[in-house]
Amino acid sequence: MSRQFTPKVVTANALLEGDAVWLTEDDRWTRDIAEAELIEDEAHAQIRLIDAQSRKAEVVGAYLADAKAGTAGPEPVHFREAFRTRGPSNYAHGKQEHASRP
């Protein structure tokens, strides 16, 4: 029996900047995970991943990451994915520099 599917987002690194991006429902790459499409269905997740991986001139290394519904939109589940939404902990560099939300 296969494991129960948990909600996912499609994420990757942007080709030019290298920073973390997430795929939105309307096929944009966003820098804010809250704007990402939260995928609840496994078959749909696989199709969205194939779509993402075909966009070779925009992103690198697309994959499905666990996510959960939050008040403002999808939120990361694993700490690695949480770090990708912020940046490093030793300097206020990366996404946290421009974050409008806490």
Partner 1 sequence: MYQYTDFDEAFVRTRVAQFRGQVERRIDGSLTEDEFKPLRLMNGLYLQLHAYMLRVAIPYGTINPGQMRQLAMIAERWDRGYGHFTTRQNIQFNWPKLKDVPDILDALADVQMHAIQTSGNTIRNVTADHFAGAAADEIEDPRPYAELLRQWSTDHPEFQFLPRKFKIAVTGSPNDRAVTKSHDIGLRMVRNAAGTPGFEVIVGGGLGRTPMIGKVVRDFLPVEDLLPYCEAIVSVWNLLGRRDNKYKARIKITVHEHGIEEISRLVEERFATLKAAFGGADQALLANIRAAFAPPVFAERPTDGFEAARLANPAFAAWADVNLAPHKAPGHAIVTISLKKHGATPGDATADQMRAMADLAERYGYGELRISHEQNVILPHVHKADLPEVYARLRAADLATANVGLVSDIIACPGMDYCALATARSIPIAQEIAERFEALKIEHEVGPLKIKISGCINACGHHHVGHIGILGLDRAGVENYQVTLGGDHTEDAVVGEKTGPGFSADEITGAIERIVFAYLDLREGPEETFLQAYRRVGMQPFKAALYEKDRADAA
Q: Which residues bind partner 1 (CB under 8 A)?
A: 13, 15-20, 56-57, 60-61, 77-80, 83-84, 87-91, 93-95
- Residue 61 gets the label, from left (phi > 0), alpha (psi -120 to 50) or beta, of left
Strand order across the beta sheet in which 59-69 lies: 29-30, 20-23, 8-14, 59-69, 74-76
Shortest distance in whole angstroms from residue 25 CB to partner 1: 24
Shortest distance in whole angstroms from residue 63 CB to partner 1: 11
Identify the CA nearest to 33 among candidates 71, 2, 89.
71
Shortest distance in whole angstroms from residue 60 CB to partner 1: 5
- Of 16 and 72, CB closest to partner 1: 16
